[in-house]
Amino acid sequence: MSGLRIRDLRVSFDGFKAVDGVDLDVAPGDIRFLIGPNGAGKTTLVDAVTGLVKASGSVHFGDAELLGRPVHQIARMGVGRTFQTATVFEELTVLQNLDIAAGAGRSPWSLLRRRTSVPTVVSEALETINLTAQRDQLAGTLAHGQKQWLEIGMLLVQDVRLLLLDEPVAGMSHDERDATGALLGVVSRDRTVVVIEHDMDFMRSFARTVTVLHAGKVLSEGSVAQVQADPKVQEVYLGQGTRDA
Amino acid sequence: MTSTVERPVSAPPVAPRRRFVLRGPGVGLAVGAVVLFAVAPVALSDFRLSLLAKYLCIAMVAVGIGLAWGRGGLLTLGQGVFFGLGGYAMAMHMKLADAGPGQMPDFMLLYGQLDALPWWWAPFRSPYFALPATVLLPMLVAFLLGSLVFRRRVRGAYFAILSQALAAALAIFLIGQQGTTGGTNGLTDFQGFFGYDLDDPVNQRMVYFIVAASLLALLLIARQLIRSRYGELLVAVRDSEERVRFLGYNPANVKLVAYVVAAGMAGLAGALFVPAVGIINPALIGIVPSIEFVIGVAVGGRATLLGPVIGAVAVAWARTTLSEEFPAAWTYLQGLLFVLVVAFLPGGLASARVLLRRRSP
Amino acid sequence: MTVIVSQLFTGVSIGAVLLLIALGLSLTFGQMGVINMAHGEFIMAGAYTVYVLQKVITGAGWSLLIALPIAFAVAGAMGVLLEFLLIRRLYARPLDTLLVTWGVSLILQQAARDIFGAPNVQTKAPDALTGNVRITDDLVLSNNRLFILGLAGLAVVALTLVLRFTSLGRRIRAVVQNRDLAAVSGIPTGRVDRLTFFIGSGLAGVAGVALTLLGPIGPTMGTNVIIDAFLVVVAGGIGHLKGSVIVAFALGTLQSLIEYSTTVSVAKVLVFVAIVAFLQWRPQGLFTLRTRSMA
Ligand SMILES: Nc1ncnc2c1ncn2[C@@H]1O[C@H](COP(=O)(O)OP(=O)(O)OP(=O)(O)O)[C@@H](O)[C@H]1O
Ligand SMILES: [Mg+2]
């Protein structure tokens, strides 16, 4: 397993510094929660790591430098992400969604043939994300929470080693949140996980370590208890209370 | 942030419909083959049959557009370019073959601007060069343009406009080169097709059968592509290109395959159009014909396998029937087709069928 | 030396024509993202406005001047009608908009054929615009080209002022940048769309008036210019007027220089190649409007 090491990461949009010199270390197998007020730069940080926006500094996953590579290459190096708004291929079935996610390494020849059976990783993932019954349903017809799970399932079959989840439980019911949390536990057994979340209860239940981002900079870092006790964090969240989405 | 917490999950009866879609083209293809090879040659006069051959050539272009646009979301408004490249490659060979060894084509002597055959005409004398070139040349051009354009993520409307601009540029270029390409007149007056006299009705029938067989072959290729994993990937790219990228694929390559295949299909169509109809000229490949290839696809159903073929043949037939007697009415009708079908029935006739099916269970 | 200068002037005047026909598009396509293939027929409508007016008003100069606002209104009204009847239903489907408006353009062309006849017609140019300005013996600038240059300049300035300083302009920019936010802020987005379309299409009418000075007009004149106009906006970048301005003049100059050293038909191909090459360097066009794009 590999960890994530970020040094002096900077992203600016027309002069506006969305990420402003972030250093971040996530140990292999950790479940790191990334929190912070709206506009803190959390999503932008993940965008930078996955190659979606240009950034300076360095991002190492294991020994490999990620910055400067195109998105699809970073994905092939084992880095996967979900999006703030669930994005699945709505016109394809759940099975097809997963099968595509599992197939980035397929040879052109096998791409040109039909799928004759369900790959084992796919059927396992279907079990893990609890969507076996919806296998042949169009992804567009899934409930919101199920779409989020499908996204996570796609990361599983994609066999990524680093998962970056952007607000995975936003808009979920209580039960769905717990199920997602349990899923995180399973997933993190042999992977490194970074979760962006606004939901403090969810964070308290499932985070191993927490980083607080504010105005593009790291404000505080540590265990859940340490971070909550940090006066700087309280100041930033002052008046917001604990924001439950 | 989205706030839908729980939405009732009503499982629609997806499975039976899917099976229908998957089996449909198989049956449809078989029926189509019978119609093309058994019914049409018996039922139609020589004249009508050669008209049908012309429509089927247009349908071959439509198969490619259905793949690239319907499945891949690549609205290519420049298929005339590839149709033209295939057509001119074939026409150049036929002109040289008509002229005989070492001779120049008749029109070059007629315009009298040249003393010798231009160097780029020379290789087309050989059928071993000319025949593959009708397909490979368009594929090469599509590959070059596509890799430049897709890699830089020029897409959607930008791509559509660029592809259309290419069609305009090629047509104007050809018109300007009268001495070597026949200019506005294009290449015409062919006598023979690989040694067979094209004036002989029997040989015209042979051309028809070649066209029909080619169309079927293209349909089989398209069917395999659509049903393969690649076909699923192509739909995924159409619906969310960025998401596909994050799964580790390069969407540029996925699109490139569909675009290049569609170009090859248009090239073959153009190549067969020449013996079937007897002419290729800039008016057949510019902006207007290029976008007209698309309307048949839209009418028939862009995302289906057989829809584009049926739509293309229907529109081409309507054009011949109407435009001779009522040219103005035909233009109005064609305009209305674009407006009504694309705006209000984007799935084409194929979706009308599904709608009807839904209404009357 | 004078050859270069006179080619440059030709280039600038080609650019001015390009700019005039692209200016309206830079509003409807550039700002709203609508690909309106019938834009070329709005240009045609503007041109035929001059033709019709000249049947009523005999003085060519007056008819041209009066035609400018009338053509603006006529083409603008056609644009609003199109937006209201079709385009607003299709905002989520840009490629389908392209095909639908192509259908509209076919219908408008045929209508022009039925009303005015298929052959091209010639309008009268005012005497003041038929002459030349002689700078040196080799360098002669034609009045009509100068007029078009002035008209294009005027249109750009007017449009910039409207976008910058009027409340309509602010609303247009608000809707372009964030439609949902604009809507919840109480901006009637539907009406803003229609007004934007009115101005954009109206500018096409003005361009049509200008084109009557350069040659005969006919039902298909729109199709001939529309692709170039779209290329200008594509290469200029969405949402930026100045991109279209710069690209129009750059393309005009390029075209006139290539035409000078080769032929018109070769120039067409080379200009296309140049644009594809340019998009390699700047895939979003010269200027880009930064927005979060992930969908
Ligand atoms: N493409 C972009 N262009 C311009 N500004 C951007 C862009 N992407 C993000 N920003 C700005 O950067 C800042 C950080 O945004 P980011 O989305 O990373 O915040 P976040 O921490 O994820 O917030 P949230 O909790 O609301 O999701 C914001 O002020 C945002 O407006
Ligand atoms: Mg965010």
More confident residue, B191 or C179: B191
pLDDT band at B140 (very low <50, low <70, confident <90, very high): very high
pLDDT at residue number B119: 92
Spatial distance between the Cα atoms of C21 and C75, rounded to a whole number of angstroms: 13
pLDDT digits (tens, 9 = 90+) for B92-137: 999 999 998 888 898 888 877 788 899 999 999 999 999 999 999 9
Question: A111 vs B228: CB contact, 8 Å cut-off?
Answer: yes
The topology (CATH level 3) of A1-78+162-169+192-245 is Rossmann fold (3.40.50)
Spatial distance between the Cα atoms of B329 and A85, rounded to a whole number of angstroms: 49
| Interface contacts (A, B; CB < 8 Å) | 124
User: What is the nearest CA distance from B298 to chain C, expressed in angstroms?
Assistant: 9
pLDDT at residue number C19: 92
pLDDT at residue number C263: 83
pLDDT at C260 over 50: yes
Contact residues, chain C, for B172 at CB < 8 Å: 264-265, 268-269
Q: Which of these ranges, B124-133, B185-194, C2-11, C152-161, has the smallest mean pLDDT?
A: C2-11
Spatial distance between the Cα atoms of C25 and C157, rounded to a whole number of angstroms: 16
Nearest to C210 by CA among C267, C153, C141: C153
pLDDT at residue number C119: 93
| CA A41 to ligand 1: nearest atom | 18
pLDDT at B264 over 50: yes
| CA A53 to ligand 1: nearest atom | 1
Phi, psi of A203 (to 5 degrees): -60, -50
Spatial distance between the Cα atoms of C161 and C136, rounded to a whole number of angstroms: 36
State the average pLDDT over residues B215-230.
Answer: 95
Token pair in block for residue B221: 């290729």
pLDDT at C245 over 50: yes
Nearest to A158 by CA among A90, A98, A113, A201: A98
Nearest to A85 by CA among A144, A162, A163: A144
| CA A44 to ligand 1: nearest atom | 18
In chain C, domain spans = 2-119+126-281
- CA nearest ligand 1 atom 11, residue: A18
Spatial distance between the Cα atoms of B304 and B350, rounded to a whole number of angstroms: 7
Nearest to C61 by CA among C8, C127, C5: C127
State the average pLDDT over residues C43-68.
Answer: 90
Are the C-beta atoms of B148 and C278 separated by less than 8 Å? no
Q: For chain A, give every residue range classified as CATH 3.40.50.300.
A: 1-78+162-169+192-245
pLDDT at residue number B277: 94
Spatial distance between the Cα atoms of C40 and C146, rounded to a whole number of angstroms: 23
pLDDT at residue number A137: 94
Looking only at the bridges linking them, the beta strands covering A56-61 and A4-13 are antiparallel
> Cα dist. C78→B139, C38, C40, C223, C251 in Å?
41, 10, 12, 17, 29
Give bridge partners of residue C131 from the DSSP assignment: none
The topology (CATH level 3) of C2-119+126-281 is ABC transporter involved in vitamin B12 uptake, BtuC (1.10.3470)
Nearest residue in A to B7, CA atom: A143
Spatial distance between the Cα atoms of B86 and B272, rounded to a whole number of angstroms: 8
- CA nearest ligand 1 atom 26, residue: A38
State the average pLDDT over residues B57-75.
Answer: 96
User: What is the nearest CA distance from B9 to chain A, expressed in angstroms?
Assistant: 6
| Ligand found nearest the CA of A47 | 1
ipTM, two decimals: 0.87
Nearest to C146 by CA among C158, C134, C159: C134
Which three-class secondary structure state does DSSP give residue A107? coil
Distance from the CA of A14 to the center of ligand 1, in angstroms? Answer: 13
DSSP B58-126: HHHHHHHHIIIIIIT----S-HHHHHHHHHHHHHHHHHHHHH-TTPPPHHHHHH---SS--TTTGGGGS
- CA nearest ligand 1 atom 7, residue: C292
pLDDT digits (tens, 9 = 90+) for B284-318: 999 999 999 999 999 999 989 999 999 999 999 99
Are the C-beta atoms of C105 and C44 separated by less than 8 Å? no
Token pair in block for residue A196: 């962006």
pLDDT at residue number A14: 82
| Cα A102 → chain centroid | 17
Of A76, A103, A154, the CB nearest to B229: A103
Of C290, C294, C295, the CB nearest to A14: C290
| Ligand found nearest the CA of A14 | 1
| CA A198 to ligand 1: nearest atom | 25
Question: C290 vs A13: CB contact, 8 Å cut-off?
Answer: yes
DSSP C46-90: HHHHHHHHHHH---HHHHHHHHHHHHHHHHHHHHHHHHHHTGGGG
Phi, psi of A209 (to 5 degrees): -135, 160
Q: Which of these ranges, A137-151, C74-88, C226-240, has the smallest mean pLDDT?
A: C226-240
Burial of C238 per CB tally in 10 Å (0-12, 13-18, 19+): buried
Contact residues, chain A, for B243 at CB < 8 Å: 83, 87-89
Looking only at the bridges linking them, the beta strands covering A56-61 and A64-65 are antiparallel
The per-type count for chain A, helices as H runs and strands as E runs, is 10, 10
Mean of all residue pLDDT scores within chain A: 89
Does residue A228 line the site of ligand 1, with CB under 6 A?
A: no
Spatial distance between the Cα atoms of A140 and B53, rounded to a whole number of angstroms: 41
Spatial distance between the Cα atoms of A86 and A89, rounded to a whole number of angstroms: 10
Q: Which helix (H) or strand (E) holds B166?
A: helix B156-176
Spatial distance between the Cα atoms of B37 and B35, rounded to a whole number of angstroms: 6
- Degrees (nearest 5) of the Cα angle C86, C91, C95? 90
Does residue A39 line the site of ligand 1, with CB under 6 A?
A: yes
pLDDT band at B355 (very low <50, low <70, confident <90, very high): low
pTM of the full structure: 0.90
Alpha helices in C57-187 (DSSP H): 60-85, 94-116, 127-130, 143-165, 167-177, 179-184
pLDDT at A145 over 60: yes
Are the C-beta atoms of C97 and C103 separated by less than 8 Å? no
pLDDT band at C290 (very low <50, low <70, confident <90, very high): low
Are the C-beta atoms of B55 and B317 separated by less than 8 Å? yes
Distance from the CA of A44 to the center of ligand 1, in angstroms? Answer: 6
Contact residues, chain A, for B227 at CB < 8 Å: 114
Contact residues, chain C, for B288 at CB < 8 Å: 223
